[in-house]
Amino acid sequence: MHVTANQAITRTLLQVSPVESIPGWETRLYRVEYEPGADGSGHHHPVVGVGYVLSGSILSAFSDEEPVLYRQGESFMDAAHEVHTVCRNASATEPMSLLLAYTVKRDEPVTVNPE
């Protein structure tokens, strides 16, 4: 299990599975947890991600889109190659957690932070 933490955001790699029909690619499943008020805006993804909110709620927008609120029990998609201009816990008092899955080239990152 691989865990990274940044800005009160913890990402835990839960599972890695090779994609048999695409050599060199794998699907990764993460649990991502945001502390109250945590903000991960400004990053992007090299591939599409599929997510599901386990608890709490997240405010999300890509590029110049209007932010969308996703609540516990709702699913969403992370766009590829677009800046995640809004990506934050919608609550200043409650934590938020979600599951995210990405299919990506082996050894490539799923999230790219600005330099």
Query: What does the domain layout of the chain look like in residue ranges?
Result: 2-105
pLDDT at 112: 87
Q: Mean pLDDT, to the nearest integer, of 35-47?
A: 92
How large is the C-alpha radius of gyration of the chain?
14
Residue 14 has pLDDT above 90, yes or no: yes
The mean predicted confidence, pLDDT, of the chain is: 91
Residue 114 pLDDT: 74
Residues 1, 27, 71, CA angle at the centre, nearest 5°?
80
> Which residues pair with residue 88 across a beta bridge?
39, 59
- Residue 80's Cβ-count burial label (10 Å; 0-12, 13-18, 19+) is middle
What's the pLDDT at 5?
45
User: What class does CATH assign to 2-105?
Assistant: mainly beta
Q: Are 89 and 55 in contact (CB under 8 A)?
A: no
